[in-house]
Structure 1
């Protein structure tokens, strides 16, 4: 009897301990989430303020001005900027995924001389900041006649080593026996890549696609250099047009920024399951 009482008391203490740890973990996660979402909440609340109350220090203005969003949309051709940015981001993400898959397959599955050394040299390009690359890239685009074109916005930064490195590590986690079985059945390398390997990499491909989309969507320096007209300007360039000789219309900037966040947020929510799966797979193991 005494032993049963002690066992029950031990279980109650363990249950209380687990409950306490659960609450502490939940509170910690909620605190971190609040820290990361606070700038977006402040941006949204600022977008609803009158222009003369943006820097008032209070979270809410004297009135809620939903028309700030309408003004931000119509004062400049912001719809055009959204369309340009979406086209560039989708096309750039698609091209980045294709380039990363093909190059990662070559570096992980094909056997050729100096393969590993070339891969290390390719990955070493990640240490180069964008500011170093924009001048030679602009000269190349200018010589090719691609300045102020969508091609100039999309092509140069689709050939980066990050996607190749990421996808190569995932390729290395797939046993080569799958490919050997496919080749025994008469499948070519292209068919093996398309039908055997890629179906197992949907989650990593989603991760790379989302990262690439957000990178293109938020890019500012390169579009600023290579784009000369409003017709092909993207969202970051459009946000600068709310600044004039009389100052910056911060309430409209915040309204436009809130609108600009929606596409990225929508894609992340849409692919949330694949993103979580891709991150949990841990593509940095490799061999």
Structure 2
């Protein structure tokens, strides 16, 4: 059994200014996205697209800006609506108090989807072409965010057997050893999903298939990780003994399967027969 290393959540102090590790992990996530997205431009079909215009580094910079807005706005609104709607209905001004914490991945994902749709419409590009470019670049950013969760000692796991070598006692999680679920999520929905999706996307795919694969992959891996993560105290487990996070993954997986199947059928219908 391990003891949480008590990492100071503040990385740098410059007088009254405090730079938190969690904020730095967001910056790392955005930098990773930019690095990977520029590499994606070398892959097919993006390297050969000419209409309405070739993809450029400037496009990636613009996508990053829009994506950051989508992550912040969607993540916060998702937390408000999915996790504490009654509380924020009574305290509406606190919706804007992002510094107090409270972000939702599923809300952030919806925010990014809306942002990408608006950007695609503005540039006259097919929306699924944009999401296919973006999808494989996201998981390592999610992994970086889980590092921030671990440093903050938050979102710890469920109680584990003390004989588990990597079970850990978290400072705010009580005296019992717990699963380091932030590490599980770092490895599953971060590193593993990135490797699988990056390799999958390197081969020619029909428009929409990579996006569908991301939805399915993240939804399944997050669903599994939630079995080791302590449910939010104010929610607990819900119908069928599932957490709120797991229930939010269900429509995500179904949407991914439908998107992947639609893209495959569309290609089959377009192929010549006889």
Tell me which interval the TM-score lies in, with the shorter structure as reference length.
Answer: under 0.3
User: Normalization by structure 2: what TM-score?
Assistant: 0.24
Higher relative contact order (CA 8 A, sep 6+): 1
Which has the larger share of helix?
1
- From the CA coordinates, give the structure whose radius of gyration is larger: 1
